[in-house]
Amino acid sequence: MPAGPVVPDEVTARDLNGAARNELKTLSKDNAEQVARHLAMAARLIDEDPTLAHEHALAASRSAGRIAVVRETVAITAYAVGDFALALRELRTFRRISGRDDQIALMVDSERGVGRPDRALEVGRAVDRASLPTDVRVELAIAMSGARLDLGQPDRALQELDIPELDPDTAFPWSPGLFAARAAVLEELGQDDEAAQWQRRADIAAAALGEVDADSETIEIDEIDEIELDEEIEDPADDAGGDDVDDEPASVQEDDEEERS
């Protein structure tokens, strides 16, 4: 059996996040080390070379096929290379092993990928959204909206995005994707001006989150609850409330008139 793609010597098990490493504790030490290195490579390569990332995930699966995070990684990389049928199979296995719905949005999108938007909606509706983490709930709303678009239902696609997390004045980690999804639906509905406004909000939120991530060597975007944008702090009362901007909502303002002047 092939060992899989080469893992650079400098990549170690500690390059994999701690929660994932903990799932590998049932493996032998040597096997856990090698599986962790393949998973770390899959995470490193998923954006720049999804095909090679998928090969690393498959290599990990051959040695640790009963570990939830391994099957989850195979699913994510399969989706990235467009193998939606494999992604679905692996996501179902991950769900059965872990008992978690963390990847429910990816399941919905994978059903869409194999040409079953009706089934995608059924899968999404079968989950108790109140039990989901906020970021997963938002991702599910975006996926459900996409399925509605697939069915030629833009009005209902917009309704899928009418969720409490749709706050145009605050930049959360999920805000760029949610704002952009709303912009896409509005454009489909022919509401170009409003679509442009939501896309601008998405760009501002993404820039703000990126700046915070770039300024820190340890904090990760998915650990940030909300970000205060540095631009346009006008209220002097802010100084009375303290200097800890990480505890304040992020203001995402339009200021279109100033840009035009």
The domains of the chain are located at 1-100
Residue 168 exposed, middle or buried by CB count within 10 Å (0-12, 13-18, 19+) = middle
What is the predicted pLDDT for the residue at 216? 41
What is the predicted pLDDT for the residue at 210? 84
Calpha distance 178→213 (Å, rounded): 19
Query: Tens place of pLDDT for every residue, the chain, 261 residues?
Result: 456 899 999 999 999 999 999 999 999 999 999 999 999 999 999 999 999 999 999 999 999 999 999 999 999 999 999 999 999 999 999 999 999 999 999 999 999 999 999 999 999 999 999 999 999 999 999 999 999 999 999 999 999 999 999 999 888 999 999 999 999 999 999 999 999 999 999 999 999 988 665 544 322 333 334 554 444 433 433 433 433 333 333 434 443 433 343
Calpha distance 198→176 (Å, rounded): 9
Tokens encoding 33: 């080390």
Of the candidates 23, 176, 178, the one whose C-alpha atom is nearest the C-alpha of residue 100 is: 23
Beta carbons within 10 angstroms of residue 84's beta carbon? 19
Calpha distance 253→193 (Å, rounded): 16
Residue 171 bridge partners (DSSP)? 227
Torsions phi, psi of 171, nearest 5? -100, 105
Level-2 CATH architecture, domain 1-100:
Alpha Horseshoe (1.25)
What is the predicted pLDDT for the residue at 2? 52
Beta carbons within 10 angstroms of residue 24's beta carbon? 23
- Whole-model pTM: value is 0.79
What is the predicted pLDDT for the residue at 4? 84
Calpha distance 95→136 (Å, rounded): 14
